[in-house]
Structure 1
Amino acid sequence: MIAALTAHITHEDRRFIAQHLDPAQAALFWQMNVPDQRHALNVAYTALKLAADEHRIDRDLLIRCALLHDVGKVKGDVSTADKIMTVILDKFAPHWARQWGRKGRGGKLANFRHAVYIYYNHAARGAAMLQAIGAGAKMVGIVAGHHEAPAAGEPPELGIIRRADSLN
């Protein structure tokens, strides 16, 4: 929680983003709130370290997917308090929470249900956003699958994204 409250983006981070994302992808990145942007950058930097000795990794794809893996979390969609309560709810009643979440903002209860919906559906939402800007199928699939269990035949970049995400 403290990391979210103190998150910031440096000049070097901005250069890194500009170097690796095209304008449409960068626009999606900048739609996230600063804590989610910081998290995505941390995932990208960690993913690069994890892939250092891997020869079969497309590093450009890895970086783009790491930076964009949470673009389904759009700034203003979820309050910090709702995000915290959602994480707690997921810890104690994940099955119930997944069913209870609903898309659509409104009053306090509707906003909280929307936060729960975003928590569980941001990967699919982000994948749809990427598909809408013409991102490749491999990138869309990696973003869509970053919270799913590993499966045979999936791209090796996806496994690295999952590990880097769990470390950050």
Structure 2
Amino acid sequence: MSRIVQFVRGILAKGPDKKEQNIINDLLSPEAQQAFYNMTVADQRHCLNVMKTAMDIATCRGLSDSIDMDFLKRCCLLHDIGRGPKMNSFRKVYGVLLDKFFHDWSINNSDKASDNIFKDIMYR
């Protein structure tokens, strides 16, 4: 059920609002901004949610004075840039299903990019 909810959220995801765009633009270099905005909207939303969660955890645990919060925010925003714009919600579903039902095959085909769509999904 959680995967279905995750899929629906990915399909309905909205990109950064104006406030979030300002945060992104303040934190990231132009090159990093380009990498962030090249991700799918669902991945952008996910990274923003990860950033919010990380900030909440750091604040609750009293760590916000002892760690570089801007560095943590940048890490959160950029942690999925390797997926690129091709890894949309439907391709992620294929990846999850391939890994679930053909785990050994998916592990063996995750080490390099490929012209084969399924191998490329596992690589990403």
CA distance in 2 between counterparts of 1:95 and 1:42 reads 31
Contact kept? 2:92, 2:121, Cα under 8 Å: yes
Identity across matched positions, percent: 33
1:114 equivalent in alignment to 2:113? no
Paired residues for 1:120-159 under 5 Å: none
Contact kept? 2:11, 2:89, Cα under 8 Å: no
CA distance in 2 between counterparts of 1:21 and 1:49 reads 20
Contact kept? 1:78, 1:111, Cα under 8 Å: no
Unaligned runs of 5+ in 1: 119-168
Aligned to 2:3: none
Q: For 1:96, give the aligned amino acid.
A: W
Q: For 2:76, give the aligned amino acid.
A: A
Contact kept? 1:8, 1:38, Cα under 8 Å: yes
TM-superposed deviation, 1:56: 2.8
1:58 equivalent in alignment to 2:68? yes
1:96 equivalent in alignment to 2:105? yes
TM-superposed deviation, 1:95: 3.9
Aligned to 1:144: none
Alignment length (residue pairs): 113
Paired residues for 1:78-93 under 5 Å: 78-93=87-102
Contact kept? 1:44, 1:63, Cα under 8 Å: yes
CA distance in 2 between counterparts of 1:112 and 1:24 reads 29
Aligned to 2:25: 18
C-alpha offsets along residues 14-71 of structure 1, whole Å, 9 cap, x if unaligned? Answer: 1121121111111110111110111011111111111111143210110000000000
CA distance in 2 between counterparts of 1:94 and 1:58 reads 38
